[in-house]
Chains A and B, each alone.
Chain A
């Protein structure tokens, strides 16, 4: 080893008081303020509600959750760590470690749901199902191919944003659906915490993508944009088949697809791109939207012509030291 002329770069301590990108600290603060663990959610209050689901509904729910667990596992162990070598600031690396860890918390929390509500045999069957399901495996492969160390740093970010902001939603739909029917409401609370985290992850990785993209020559920018749209088309194809397989028996497939279109557009917006699906295809069932952001539509706004011209929210946190009035 003595012969190899390897010169290690000087190891540098991270200084959070010297930022190259303010977004790093903003996101660090938001993620750490939002930290949670599944133990915080009283999942056992859903035991009775769980017992009222039919066996088919239970099987579907467990399968959907093992599918979500798989995506969180990939993002925890491969996706977020794969972005670290491409980080342009030490603070970005630190944020990515937080993202990686929270994905582990998400993956772990589905097992909390299982141990609280389900029979071991049912759960074991569902994990076997997820390992063998062709659609679930196909989307995982497409994403993992991009996470390969040899992949272009920006293609990795595109794949990562699509996982965070698009691929989860065929699964997230179901707990929102149950919640809109007053079923498994505590489980839905837990899923909403996951949704909140994934929204920040998709936003941040998409932001870093945009910063890196703007430094590239036009031809490379076009190439990456074409790649992004081609990848979301391929992923959508798989998601559509996965959705049909899972939701056809409940007659919910079209409803889920509208939710997929809506979220695919949001994933593209996180990357700074325009929408792919027309608005007619994105009309999400209002009950699902209400389950996603409960309470937020009790406040109507002026242009929507809802009668009340003034929004009176419940107590909102306005105590910020920076306000002078």
Chain B
């Protein structure tokens, strides 16, 4: 199974989701000016959405900084995005932005800290996904 990297701000929603997933993971730093970690194996990114009404600023700065590292980007295989449906069209938009930028699929979307169903689907989904990983374009 491949790795997981995630960003969660002080609200802790994404961190609670990843905690319940119970899979090994790397947490990105809270601040955009901190040095991003270097990934060494293929991984999936989980990140929340911070868009305004026009969709600007959807991806958190530390996530951008992390993906600006070409070596990290090369190992990224998919993105799971969190959000809130109350934001209408921009729900989980960070997933779309990262997918387009990095040419990887949006694997899943969930709200806030997720539900038990979300946890089960992501666990199953990741297991199957890594089973076919050799088929997915790098």
- Asked if B96 and A22 make an inter-chain contact with CB atoms under 8 angstroms apart, the answer reads no
A contact residues, range: 35 or more
Hey, what's the 0/1 contact readout for A284-325 against B, CB within 8 Å counting as 1? 000001001111100101111000011101001110101111
Smallest CB–CB gap between B132 and chain A, Å? Answer: 10
* A76 sits at the interface (CB 8 A): no
* A29 sits at the interface (CB 8 A): yes
Smallest CB–CB gap between B86 and chain A, Å? Answer: 4
* A241 sits at the interface (CB 8 A): no
* A141 sits at the interface (CB 8 A): no
Q: Report Cα–Cα, A50/B46, bound state, in Å.
A: 44
* B55 sits at the interface (CB 8 A): yes
* Residues of chain A from 199 to 222 with CB closer than 8 A to chain B in the complex: 199, 203, 206-207, 210-211
Smallest CB–CB gap between A319 and chain B, Å? Answer: 8
Complex interface: chain B residues within 8 A of A199 (CB): 84, 86-87
Q: Report Cα–Cα, A282/B89, bound state, in Å.
A: 22
Complex interface: chain B residues within 8 A of A295 (CB): 88-89
- Which of B11, B31, B96, B100 touches A206 (beta carbons < 8 Å)? B11
- Asked if A309 and B105 make an inter-chain contact with CB atoms under 8 angstroms apart, the answer reads yes
- Asked if B122 and A303 make an inter-chain contact with CB atoms under 8 angstroms apart, the answer reads yes
Complex interface: chain B residues within 8 A of A181 (CB): none
The stretch among A123-131, A142-150, A152-160, A269-277 that forms the contact with chain B is: A269-277
Complex interface: chain A residues within 8 A of B50 (CB): 26, 30
Hey, what's the 0/1 contact readout for A236-277 against B, CB within 8 Å counting as 1? 000000000000000000000000000001100110100100
Complex interface: chain A residues within 8 A of B12 (CB): 210, 272
* B38 sits at the interface (CB 8 A): no
Smallest CB–CB gap between A271 and chain B, Å? Answer: 10
Complex interface: chain B residues within 8 A of A272 (CB): 11-12, 16
- Asked if B54 and A279 make an inter-chain contact with CB atoms under 8 angstroms apart, the answer reads no
Q: Which residues of B contact A (CB under 8 A)?
A: 9-13, 16, 31-32, 50-59, 61, 64-65, 67-68, 70, 73, 78, 84-93, 95-97, 99-101, 105-109, 111-113, 115-117, 121-122, 124-125, 129
Q: Which residues of A contact B (CB under 8 A)?
A: 21-23, 26, 29-30, 33-34, 36, 192-193, 195-196, 198-199, 203, 206-207, 210-211, 265-266, 269-270, 272, 275, 279, 282, 289, 292-296, 299, 301-304, 309-311, 313, 316-318, 320, 322-325
7 other A-B residue contacts (CB within 8 Å) besides A302-B78, A318-B97, A325-B101? A23-B11, A210-B12, A272-B16, A317-B51, A320-B59, A320-B64, A323-B68
